[in-house]
Amino acid sequence: MLDLIIEDTTKTPSVEFLINGELRIAGRSIPENAVDFFNPLINWVKSLKASLPPSITFTVELEYINTSSSKLLLDLFRILDEIFLSNKSKVEIIWMYDYEDEDSRDESDSYISDLSVPFTLKAF
């Protein structure tokens, strides 16, 4: 298994998924086809389950996310939630948001209610 690094574009976020368990996605997520963009990320996280690091931290710093991206991001969160519930690795999701952007803060609420994994909100 190799690290997954994707450079950002005007429509897609940067992705740094490292095999040591440090995962990060940042930028704008408004791809033409969200499934095409997120499927490699989802498959990568699924494969991480085979060789779990002691801890996984997923930092999400999305300034804008469209509806289709939001649904697929939730799919990623659910995989991490499964890992957390298995007690095989410590898992945390960190949601970074602009303290002036109430929509971004509110977006996190829809995820938190569906998950057991620790979900930390951090304003910048």
List, in sequence order, every beta strand (DSSP E) within 7-118.
Answer: 14-17, 22-29, 55-65, 90-97
Q: Which domain holds residue 83?
A: 4-123
Sign of CA dihedral 68, 18, 78, 61: negative
Of 123 and 35, the one with more pLDDT: 35
CATH number, domain with residue 23:
3.30.750
pLDDT at 60: 97
Structure confidence by residue, pLDDT tens digits, 46-88: 999 888 999 999 999 999 999 999 999 999 999 999 999 999 9
What sign for the dihedral angle of Cα 29, 3, 120, 86? positive
More confident residue, 1 or 103: 1
pLDDT tens-digit profile of 7-61? 999 999 999 999 999 999 999 999 999 999 999 999 999 999 888 999 999 999 9
Q: How many domains does the chain have?
A: 1
For residue 100, pLDDT over 90 is answered with no
